[in-house]
Chains A and B, each alone.
Chain A
């Protein structure tokens, strides 16, 4: 069962301007998630795009999802970015906000005298080492973030191709410890679990079952491709059958959950997109949300 019941079980979707048309035609969505960095403040508060505002006005729940707070950075949390995440959440009346268990830049305000204070942006989410030092830093940073937010914070473990040699814990152990220390919730990305497992020769389901499933606020699912012999979680392709199956397994074990598709680009024609959404709903045993979809089949 979803932790805290902040979101209702069912199918959701990552709202993107390029998908606004098809999303507006969906019926029975449980929630939408909006990238906080894509909500801009042009001087008079956060501007919520009109198509998104219409969904919210129609009673749909929206969650703000940060991508650049860099909670896993060695530096303390950037208060300006944190304030933006909070404002974005407030602008869409989000019952919770989420961020990643990752770092996206090095440098910044590390303690006085520390080396490497110049800022370098990676342009993507990078993994943190899974060891005690890292836990100490992340715990402090997550608590700082929680102190600057008015709603619960959920953390999403990422897909990572390169593993730190410093790792002393499994993903599940590290995550359980961090969530215990901070009280944060979990955004479980099924595709990320799959990617990390297959790229490192581990069993996806066994890895998934090690996660603290009772802390799940909601789940992500996304598509990817095999490039250079590695599974890459691009969010720009249909969800592979193996990832759909893993999501099905998760729901069988953990019970009904809020589950949403992340599609960031390479948007297919609407009928194809709707068919992909139906495939996710079917794999998860959830009602379809596409126009003209038949009533829910139980089982």
Chain B
């Protein structure tokens, strides 16, 4: 617990009308955020064009953020309108949670595009390195891979084989078609 609010001279929520104000604001804020980062409708009274502009800005910002970790992927999404549409669909159906960062966002986007067979060729190397270096934990988060011996990595329809450990490894085979 935090210290008691001494400047107010009373408990933080003792102000009359405050609980009601919080409730009203909570509902409206949720409507706005849902319209911006999920599939919610434009909240009553807002200018739809402005909401669309913010929505687009947030999608661009998220792509820029995950592009810090996966620059080739982000560049490919920016330069291909069909891929941008797919990215936008992913963006609004996968809102960031409080614990999700841009790296996890990028990893999730790579998995999603790969599953749909739409991972751009320019991003193959980034997908490959992501899967060499990380494993998926039970909670779905990417964690550093701890491996020794042989590691098989798939991207799209191809399979690469590496031998060594996380710190030192060498490709032994690949890419080979796996399906």
Q: Does A230 contact B (CB under 8 A)?
A: yes
Q: Which of B1-38 contact A (CB under 8 A)?
A: 1-8, 12-13, 15, 17-30, 32-34, 36-38
In the bound complex, residues from chain A placing their C-beta under 8 Å from that of B54 are 126, 161-162
Question: In the complex, what residue of chain B is closest to A133 when comparing beta carbons?
Answer: B21
Say yes or no: A147 contacts B2, CB within 8 Å: yes
Residues of A within 8 Å of B53, CB to CB, are 161-162, 228, 230
Bound form: Cα–Cα A149–B55 in Å: 34
Interface string of A99-115 (1 = CB under 8 A from B): 00001011100110011
A144 touches B57 (CB 8 A): no
CA A110 to CA B38, docked complex, whole Å:
21
Q: Are B32 and A126 in contact (CB under 8 A)?
A: yes
* Known contacts A79-B2, A147-B2: A133-B12 contact under CB 8 Å: no
Q: How far is the CA of A257 from the CA of B29 in the complex (A)?
A: 35
B149 at the interface (CB under 8 A from A): no
- Contact at A126–B5, with CB atoms within 8 Å? no
Does B28 contact A166, Cβ atoms closer than 8 Å? yes
| Least CB distance, A167 to chain B, in whole angstroms | 10
Complex: A183 Cα to B7 Cα, angstroms: 10
The answer to the question of B97 belonging to the interface, with a C-beta cut-off of 8 Å to chain A, is yes
A295 contacts the other chain (Cβ, under 8 Å)? no
Q: Does B82 contact A (CB under 8 A)?
A: no
B25 touches A134 (CB 8 A): yes
A120 contacts the other chain (Cβ, under 8 Å)? yes
Chain B CB within 8 A of A289 CB: no
CB of B87, distance to nearest CB on chain A (Å):
14
Give every chain B residue within 8 A of A110 (Cβ-Cβ): 22-23, 26
B interface, over-half SS: helix
**How far, in Å, is A166 (CB) from chain B's closest CB?**
7
A76-B13, A162-B50 are contacts. A144–B2 as well, Cβ < 8 Å?
yes
B7 contacts A265, C-beta separation under 8 Å? no
Please report the total number of A residues contacting B with Cβ < 8 Å: 51
Cα–Cα distance between A77 and B98 once the two chains are bound (Å): 14
Select which of A121, A128, A140, A228 is within 8 A of B15 by beta carbon. Answer: A140
Nearest Cβ distance between residue A223 and chain B, in whole angstroms?
A: 15
Q: Which of B7, B50, B58 contacts A146 (CB 8 A)?
A: B7
State whether the Cβ of A240 lies closer than 8 Å to any Cβ in chain B: no
B64 proximity list for chain A (CB < 8 A): 265
Name which residue of chain B comes closest to A145, CB basis: B2
Interface residues of A in 224-248 (CB under 8 A from B): 227-228, 230, 232
Contact B13 A140 (CB under 8 A): yes
Once the chains are docked, how many angstroms separate the CA of A134 from the CA of B23? 11
Count of inter-chain pairs, beta carbons less than 8 A: 150
A178 to B34, CA, bound (A): 27
Question: A111-B19, A161-B50 given as contacts; is B12 within 8 A of A106 (CB)?
Answer: no
Query: Is residue B47 contacting chain A, with contact meaning CB distance below 8 A?
Result: yes
Contact B21 A162 (CB under 8 A): no
Shortest CB distance B37–A (Å): 6
Interface check B118, CB cutoff 8 A: no
Q: Does A172 reach chain B (CB closer than 8 Å)?
A: no
| A:121-137 near B, CB below 8 Å | 121-124, 126, 128-129, 132-134, 136-137
Chain A nearest CB, measured from B104 CB (Å): 12
Q: Which residues of A contact B47 (CB under 8 A)?
A: 162-163
Let me know if A84 is at the binding interface, CB within 8 A: no
> Which of these, B20, B30, B61, B62, contacts A120 with CB under 8 Å?
B30
How many Å lie between the Cα of A134 and that of B5 in the bound state?
A: 19
* B96 engages A121 (CB within 8 Å): yes
Tell me if B22 and A120 are in contact (CB < 8 A).
no
A163 to B49, CA, bound (A): 11
A143 and B8 form a contact (CB under 8 A): yes
A116 at the interface (CB under 8 A from B): yes
The complex places the Cα of A208 from the Cα of B23 at a distance, in Å, of: 32
Give min CB distance, B66 to chain A, whole Å.
11
| Residue in A103, A133, A148, A162 whose CB lies within 8 Å of B46 | A162
Is A82 interfacial (CB 8 A cutoff)? yes
Are A121 and B37 closer than 8 Å at their CB atoms?
A: yes
| A interface with B by C-beta (< 8 Å) | 73-77, 79, 82-83, 103, 105-107, 110-111, 114-116, 119-124, 126, 128-129, 132-134, 136-137, 139-140, 143-144, 146-148, 161-166, 182-183, 227-228, 230, 232, 265
- A-B complex: 6 closest residue pairs judged by Cβ atoms: A165-B45, A74-B26, A74-B25, A133-B21, A116-B30, A106-B30
